[in-house]
Amino acid sequence: MRTSKTRSSLNTSSTNNESSFRWQKCSQCLKSIPFNSDNHQCSDELNGLFVEHNQARLLVQEHKSDYFKDLTFPSFIQTDIVFISPETMRLLGDIHRNDHILLISITKDQQRLLRIGLLWPNSFLADNQVAISRTVIDQLSEQQMIELHAIPKDHILDTDNITLRAVTPCESHSTNERRLITICLKHQLANRIVFNEQHIDFVYLGQSIIFRIEPQQQQQPINDINLIDSLHSLSLDSSLPKFYRICPLTTSINIHFESTTVNNNIQVKSISLSDIGGLKKEKSDLIDLLLTSTTNYIPPRGILLHGPKGCGKTMLINAIAHEISATIIRINPSDIYSRHYGESETKLKHLFAQTTMTKNNNLKKKYLLIVENIESLCPNQERITQQLERRLTTTFIELLDRYLDGKNIFLIATTNRLDSVDTDLRRPGRIDEEIEIGIPNQQDRFEILKIKLQTISNDLNEEQLKLVAERTHGFSGSDLENLCRKANHYARINKQSNININMEHFENALIVIRPSSMREVILEVPKVKWSDIGGQHELRKRLEEMVVWPLKYSHALDRLNVQVPKGILMYGPPGCSKTMIAKAIATESDLNFIAVKGPELFSKWVGESERAVRELFRRARLAAPAIIFFDEIDAIANSRSNSSNSQSNVSDRVIATLLIEMDGIEKLKGVTIIAATNRPDCIDPALMRPGRFDRLVYVPLPDEQTRLEIFQIRFRRSPIHSNIQIERLVELTKNYSGAEITAVCDEAALIALRDNIDAPHIEWHHFERALASIKPRTSDEHIRRLDAFTKQHGK
């Protein structure tokens, strides 16, 4: 090996955007190298940039629209154009514009990528740059360098026929669509250079379809130079494929839309049951149903997995298939539908016929016929609006009865809308078992987080991981994966390199990531803590019994068979911190919090108001443990009357729906209901019974001790003069509500600023003037009605 000294060290990253880059020729190996390179190694394998006769290694840059400004290439050719500077093209030697060039690069998974492009000069580029399409750049490794090799014309073979086979499933395309794709693809391939196993990307109506060049069996002419030897002379290794030119007049192009494997037999990433956190009972049930081989056992023909999105239904199916060594054959409802009459039913019959043929070829192998979102293929008959859906449902059910035997081929379907699936499909003999895949509990969330963090560098111990699991109420498996991704993002944007995920990153991620079931009802609740509320200690204890005890002391409650109260109604005069207490619950409990303003549930459309109530409780169940807070509940739960007007009828139906959801046939588990009102006598009596609002808590006007705490909380943040006597203020604010006391403090501060905009503190005479302008507004009559209600229902 020989060494030639140049001016400075080779630095590929610093030359990327330097238009003043220049080449210099090495006097020993005769290769053009960067002008400022130092310690250049003269060898056959160069790690840096270079140009020599018919080959080069250059820095990658993305195509820019300015490069095509004066060119008239068709859009499908633009992705194949390779731009280099005119000087670099001159150094390449016997190669000209619009000649074919071979690109060799290393992908992100360290695989070699071959691509054929059309070379074109561009003066905007530096001599060490090559501009290629974004499609190729996305596949490259971090090295961001690519090799160019000229292909001599005498090493490109002519071929009589070429075969392309679709890699992308094309079952959804009709016969007419396939004919159109064939015509367009043949036009694009005219005069192109291709090689064996090359992937051709064809875009049809915005959808990418990938075709693969099938290996050719054509023999080389005797007088041709051996291709491998010629490639060796070009410093190319012998593993490169053969190159063929497609001539429009002499080359026959055969295009096959069917894959060489069974249609819809999609190869998915191998996954085992150990890769799934939680779902112990569901995994055990599926294995028992599909692997039991006793003599008198009758296996199920179909299994339906139902539950919220992102809870692991698809992952569980793939793991079970791997566990029982079964092949997955998928039916995608969107691929079945066709606008041509009868073609949708034909596709279904073709799939089932292939399944039966496969079963006859291998009687011992199990096959799982997978239909995800089966409600799209077999919707409820009552909701069907098109004749096509009715025909498809009937055809699918007939095919199930004809082909599935429950021995070698099983049907496993998934849905997140169980009520939308056709009832004829759910009867025994078709779908024999229905398994619910629910939101993971705390132990399941801990297992999921533990599995997800196995491949991510982190500094979390087991206790911290349990704390994260405890705080992620209502998170599905996909939500937890998204949480880990976000925490990893916060770790990567840190200025320090190679930093591991820690608890701080998860704290930041928990602020942003919320359960997917709560995205439509999530609210930005003000951060109010218990320390910001004066008094109300008894109410705080009651709320902790309802919200905190079921989570921390569930074993003690089960031991004594205690039913935790479902709901609590806070009533009292306006301005006594009822709504503020709800804000403190949302902040302190770390539970999913849904706030409802009474009138927003009403709609002018028939049935929409009741549906809004049902949807509210459905989301709360999905996000359990959760809190639903009804502010001014008297607006939607007014006493039912015998009036026949339409507004009363709507209100009565909403109340009936609310009563059923709170304590009906379907048990409300993990959801706490908190309501606030200042008119409890107007609320329907049916809501007051135990099982709905178990606790009725009177929130009265603040007493002396409460008023003292309110003033102390306010004065923690406001500068006051030393002559202010808090005890005297407590005496003067008798019969004031908490909101009115806060208004007095704000008014005193404003008066101080009116007197002197630079006032350093608030003085006593400011409070005297504020008290003169703000008087208590709660009437004695209102207090008497509340006291009478308290005596009637108890405190």
Paired sense of beta strands 157-158 and 129-132, if any: unpaired
Continuous H helices in 383-476: 387-403, 442-452, 462-471
CA end-to-end span of the chain, whole Å?
A: 96
438: helix, strand or coil: coil
pLDDT category of residue 13 using cuts at 50, 70 and 90 = very low
Residue 45 has pLDDT above 50, yes or no: no
Q: Which residue has the higher pLDDT, 647 or 719?
A: 719
Segment 87-114 mean pLDDT: 79
Cβ–Cβ < 8 Å for 395, 348 = yes
Backbone dihedral angles phi then psi of residue 83, each to the nearest 5 degrees: -100, 135
- Which CATH architecture best describes the domain 23-151? Beta Barrel (2.40)
Segment 299-310 mean pLDDT: 86
Predicted confidence at residue 698, as pLDDT, reads 86
Q: Does domain 704-777 have CATH number 1.10.8.60?
A: yes
pLDDT category of residue 29 using cuts at 50, 70 and 90 = low
Question: Considering only 640-649, 693-702, 746-755, which range has the smallest mean pLDDT?
Answer: 640-649
pLDDT tens digits for 440-461? 888 888 888 988 888 888 888 8
Placement of tokens 């956190």 in the chain = 277
Nearest to 707 by CA among 669, 670, 745, 750: 745
Q: Which residue has the higher pLDDT, 192 or 622?
A: 192
Question: Considering only 278-282, 376-380, 489-493, 621-625, which range has the smallest mean pLDDT?
Answer: 621-625
pLDDT category of residue 28 using cuts at 50, 70 and 90 = low
Placement of tokens 């009589």 in the chain = 160
Domain 273-436 and domain 530-698, same fold? Reply is yes
Predicted confidence at residue 194, as pLDDT, reads 87
The residues, any chain, with a CB within 8 Å of residue 792's CB and separated by 6 or more, are none
pTM: 0.53
What percent of the chain is predicted at pLDDT more than 70?
82
Segment 63-87 mean pLDDT: 81
Placement of tokens 């014309």 in the chain = 153
Rounded to an integer, what distance in angstroms lies between the CA atom of residue 390 and that of residue 661? 33
Nearest to 35 by CA among 123, 143, 103, 126: 126
Predicted confidence at residue 702, as pLDDT, reads 87
Rounded to an integer, what distance in angstroms lies between the CA atom of residue 406 and that of residue 744? 76
Residue 617 has pLDDT above 80, yes or no: yes
Predicted confidence at residue 240, as pLDDT, reads 65
pLDDT tens digits for 174-216? 777 888 888 888 888 888 888 888 888 888 877 778 888 887 6
Rounded to an integer, what distance in angstroms lies between the CA atom of residue 346 and that of residue 335? 12
Question: Considering only 45-54, 246-255, 426-435, 745-754, which range has the smallest mean pLDDT?
Answer: 45-54
pLDDT tens digits for 382-397? 777 778 888 888 888 8
pLDDT category of residue 2 using cuts at 50, 70 and 90 = very low
Cβ–Cβ < 8 Å for 601, 636 = yes
CATH of domain 157-217+240-257: 3.10.330.10
Residue 626 has pLDDT above 50, yes or no: yes
The topology under which CATH files domain 273-436 is Rossmann fold (3.40.50)
pLDDT tens digits for 121-154? 888 888 788 888 877 777 666 557 788 888 877 7
Segment 578-599 mean pLDDT: 77
Count CB-CB contacts under 10 A for residue 127: 25
The structure tokens listed for 107 are: 């992908």
Rounded to an integer, what distance in angstroms lies between the CA atom of residue 669 and that of residue 211? 53
Predicted confidence at residue 795, as pLDDT, reads 57
Residue 333 has pLDDT above 80, yes or no: yes
Average of per-residue pLDDT values in the chain: 77
Segment 742-769 mean pLDDT: 87
Paired sense of beta strands 433-436 and 567-571, if any: unpaired
Q: Please, which residues bridge with residue 720 across strands?
A: 762
Residue 495 has pLDDT above 80, yes or no: no
Segment 506-515 mean pLDDT: 84
Predicted confidence at residue 547, as pLDDT, reads 76
Cβ–Cβ < 8 Å for 336, 348 = yes
CATH of 442-518, one of 1.20.1290.10, 3.40.50.720, 3.40.50.300, 1.10.8.60: 1.10.8.60
Residue 525 has pLDDT above 60, yes or no: no
Predicted confidence at residue 364, as pLDDT, reads 58
**DSSP for 213-228, written as a single string:** EPPP-PPPPTTSPPHH
Rounded to an integer, what distance in angstroms lies between the CA atom of residue 118 and that of residue 375? 49
317: buried, middle or exposed (CB in 10 Å: 19+, 13-18, 0-12)? buried
Predicted confidence at residue 141, as pLDDT, reads 62
The residues, any chain, with a CB within 8 Å of residue 158's CB and separated by 6 or more, are 244, 245, 247, 250, 251
What are the boundaries of each domain within the chain? 23-151, 157-217+240-257, 273-436, 442-518, 530-698, 704-777
**Residue 645 vs residues 505, 638, 654, 672: alpha-carbon distances, Å:** 57, 15, 15, 33
Backbone dihedral angles phi then psi of residue 703, each to the nearest 5 degrees: -80, -170
Paired sense of beta strands 145-150 and 100-106, if any: antiparallel
Q: How many CA atoms lie within 13 A of 362 on its CB side?
A: 10
Task: Map 23-57 to HEC letters.
Answer: EEECCCCCCEEECCCCCEEECCCCCCCEEECCEEE
Q: Which residue has the higher pLDDT, 162 or 335?
A: 162
Predicted confidence at residue 276, as pLDDT, reads 85
Segment 62-76 mean pLDDT: 79
**Residue 292 vs residues 209, 295, 298, 350: alpha-carbon distances, Å:** 42, 9, 9, 30
pLDDT category of residue 267 using cuts at 50, 70 and 90 = very low
Placement of tokens 């390779």 in the chain = 82
pLDDT category of residue 225 using cuts at 50, 70 and 90 = very low
pLDDT tens digits for 676-728? 888 888 888 888 888 788 888 888 888 888 888 888 888 888 888 887 888 88
Cβ–Cβ < 8 Å for 213, 164 = yes
Superfamily of domain 530-698: P-loop containing nucleotide triphosphate hydrolases (3.40.50.300)
Predicted confidence at residue 315, as pLDDT, reads 86
pLDDT tens digits for 663-674? 776 777 778 888
Predicted confidence at residue 494, as pLDDT, reads 65
Residue 506 has pLDDT above 70, yes or no: yes
pLDDT category of residue 464 using cuts at 50, 70 and 90 = confident
Segment 221-232 mean pLDDT: 44
Predicted confidence at residue 235, as pLDDT, reads 43
Residue 405 has pLDDT above 70, yes or no: yes
